[in-house]
Every structure is written in C-alpha cells, then in structure tokens.
Structure 1
C-alpha cells in the first residue's frame, strides 16, 4: 500500500500553518511535506515534527519572490548568486529537519533569455546544487510543472527533465514526478512510471481536472496505486491537492481507492 505524506501547504489550510502538523498526525499521516520552511524558525519546525511523531520528506529550494508570482530562479542567468545562496539555506533547514530530499523549482523562462541560454544556466546550477546537497547527504529533485497552471514555466515534461539529468550527470539528481502535472502535459502515467521509476525520487498526486482529491476526476487512482506498488516504488507520495471542503472531510479516498 502506498505511503502518503500530507502536503501542509495545500492540506489543513483552514488552520494556521504551525497547527497543521498536529492536524496531519491526528488524521493518520506519518509524514509531511510543504513548499517552503524559510519563514519559520528551524527549531520550532523540528519540535512540531517531533511532538507529533512526523517525518518531513520534502521541501523546496528558495524560489524567489513567490508572492510576486516568481516560481523559481534556477533558469535565470542574472540570479546565479542568489540561487547558490538558496542552496546553502536549504541545506541548513533540511539538515535541521532531517529532511532527505529538496526540490528545485526551475522557474519561468525570463523575457529575453533563449531556451539554449536558460538550459546552460539550469545545468550549471543543478551541478552545483547536486554536489552541495550530496555533500550534506540530501537528494536533489527537479519537477516538471504544467503550463496551464503556470504559463511559461521552464520545465514541463518528463522527457525534458530526464535529458537535464543526463546532461548534469549527477547520481544525486532525480525527477519529482507529480501525477497531476504529468496528466495535464503528457498522460501515459503508468508507462512513464514503469519506464523511469529508477530515476524518480518522489511522487506527488492530485486529480484532474480541478486538482482535487483522488477520485474526483479522470485519473484511475485505484489502478495507479496498485501499479506504483507493483513497480517497486517504496517512497512517500505527497498529497498536494486542493480539498473540496475541509481536509478531513475529504480523506475517505485513502481507504476507498487503495484496497
């Protein structure tokens, strides 16, 4: 049976952020993930995990000015220094929280920057980040994002992500495979997971359309969960969906779709 981690950015969002750890534990989750830890004290976050018997499985590198619409800076030629500073900061938090994986959102292609120039910056940045994180015992991920939700996002397909892995050439860099984004951009979920599971370091889920709970849309999650088990994935699956009501009211999918 798959292991599900509550994404605290999306789930229990009717509560203040620091109260979501307790809510996740009470709802039966053993692990959590969320976008960014940087607005909170490391010791406070570590205590919330410890006090509620939770492990943190993922957070993201700093991604620029999120509130202003930025979604990462990994493809920005003029912000390499800021990117590298973000790697150092991510290592500090991941180490304090015993978080084994950090995801890099590569961002939107900047105006006036060619795809070729952005690719060079991406590869150089990821080589640096992968080595620094490897030295700290932390795995680096990159995530394709659909261009319907985030127009202009640089990385949007699995094959593109894999080609970047090939060029970077680090064993410490893997793909974060978000089922929702993959469904919107390319489909072929089962075959893609089967073919590339050894290069996928983390999985996330939501249904489509609407990014709701599994079972609310077109994706055959009962089949997909069994398939993920059958191909040997034993990592966490992050629940990064938008609850239709309260989070707890919508959690029936866990038992209904995993029998």
Structure 2
C-alpha cells in the first residue's frame, strides 16, 4: 500500500505545532511534511523527529522575504512564492539557501519551491524564462547535497492567479529545465479540481519518473479522502499497481482539513498506516 505522511500544518491543529509530531507517530504515521519549518530552530525539529521515529519527507522553501523575520511573516501577508516573479531573484535564492540549511538539519530529501502569483499585467508565457532560470539555479544548488527541488501545480480557486496550475505545464517545465533533481509535486486534490481524469494522470506521469511526491485530500472541501468526488481506494490501487511495476516508491502527504478531529477522522487509513 502507499506510504502516507502526516501534514502537520493541517492535521492535529488542536495541538501546539511541536506536539503534533508525537500525535502523528501515535496514530501510526512514519513520516511528516508541513508548509514551513522556519519559525522553529532546526535542532528542535530534528529532536522531535528522532524522538518519535519520524522521517521528514517534504517542506516548502520560504514563500517570500529576504531575512528570517520577513520569511516568517510572508505567508500571512499573502506571499505565495517568488520563483516566477521578475525582480525577486535574490529573494528567491536567499529562500532556497535557507531551505537547504533546514533540509540538511532535518535530513529532508526534497523541498517545494512555490511559483508565485501573476500580476494583472503579466502572462504565464512572459514569466516562463524567469521561472526556468530560477528553477535551474535551485536544482544545481540542491544537487550539491543530493536533494530534489519540487514544483506544484495549484488550482486557482484556492490560490487565485497562481502561476502553475496544470500537470502538463509542470512536466513541460521540468523537461525543459533538464535537471534530474527537479521534479513535480502531484497533489491529487488540485489535479481533480483543475483537470480531472486523475487515474489516467497517474498512469501517464508516474512512469516518467518526474513525480517526486504526491498529496491527497477530499474534493471539493479538502476534508478526509473518504468523502467527495474522488474514489481514493481505487486511486490507491492504481498507485500500488504502478509501484509494483517500479514506477513509484515515494510518499503521499495527507494535506487535508479534518472535519472534526484528526485522530477521529483516520478511519479511511485503517490498515494503511
């Protein structure tokens, strides 16, 4: 069966962040992901991982800012990445370097760099060059420590004017940049909202080797994956089939909003964790 990672930014939110590691381990998770680690010292996060037998499998580079202070406030101020934003290349590079420092301390193999938002007078094609240049630089830097850089298509209902929305666009970018450690983060929640045909997208893209991580949530309300439009047990069987053929050995992040409580809503995962 697929391997699942608890997203600690969205699960166990009734607990202080640092207590969520223990809660995830208690429920059977062997790995975690979250949006950002930068509000906490890396050594303290590492200690929580080790104490609870957890792997850190993913986190995001800072969404904006050129200092620890501005990194920590950028998300709340509406920043959604700088990778495609002209004039903010130095800010992007600062964020990637800071993320790589945390990745080394947490032994995390992959970092998601958010693309950013389109201004009203900008087009995706007009920003493609900046985006590709930034991704190439990030991939080269990450390769020095054996880490992957991920890009994620995100639906514009949740994040209006986000630069990257479709799987085909993301895979075209990754192929054009040509770095082996630049890969796609495939969130099935976003895939269903933007494109649909999720099982066939899995069959198309997992065999390419360019998918570095997956995430799940129920559609349309982003609750547990046992409610909504997607038949997750069937999709898990498709992933298992592809894994048996050697096309997938990664983690699937549980990036959803529990309807009542995290532990109470884990019935969908019984026998899977």
Does the TM-score normalized on the shorter chain lie above 0.5? yes
Structure-2 residue corresponding to 1:253 = 268
Q: Give the drift of 1:194.
A: 1.0
Structure 2 residue corresponding to 1:241, chosen from 244, 256, 272? 256
CA deviation profile, 1:64-89 (whole Å, cap 9, x unmatched) = 11101111111110110000011110
SS at match of 1:252: helix
Q: Give the drift of 1:118.
A: 1.1
Contact 1:60 1:90 in 2 (8 A): yes
SS at match of 2:88: helix
Superposition TM-score, scaled by structure 1 size: 0.97
Contact 1:141 1:176 in 2 (8 A): yes
Any residues of structure 2 matched to 1:1-259 within 5 Å, and which?
1-64=1-64, 65-197=74-206, 198-232=209-243, 233-255=248-270
Matches of 2:175 and 2:27, distance apart in 1? 40
Matches of 2:122 and 2:238, distance apart in 1? 40
Matches of 1:205 and 1:93, distance apart in 2? 25
CA deviation profile, 1:112-134 (whole Å, cap 9, x unmatched) = 33333311110000000011001
SS at match of 1:62: coil
Superposition TM-score, scaled by structure 2 size: 0.92
Unmatched 5+ stretches in structure 2: 65-73
Structure-1 residue corresponding to 2:70 = none
Q: How many residues matched?
A: 258
Matches of 2:6 and 2:20, distance apart in 1? 9
Q: Give the drift of 1:166.
A: 1.8
RMSD across aligned C-alpha pairs, in angstroms? 1.2
Contact 1:76 1:110 in 2 (8 A): no
After superposing on structure 2, the runs of 4+ consecutive aligned residues of structure 1 that deviate more than 6 Å are none
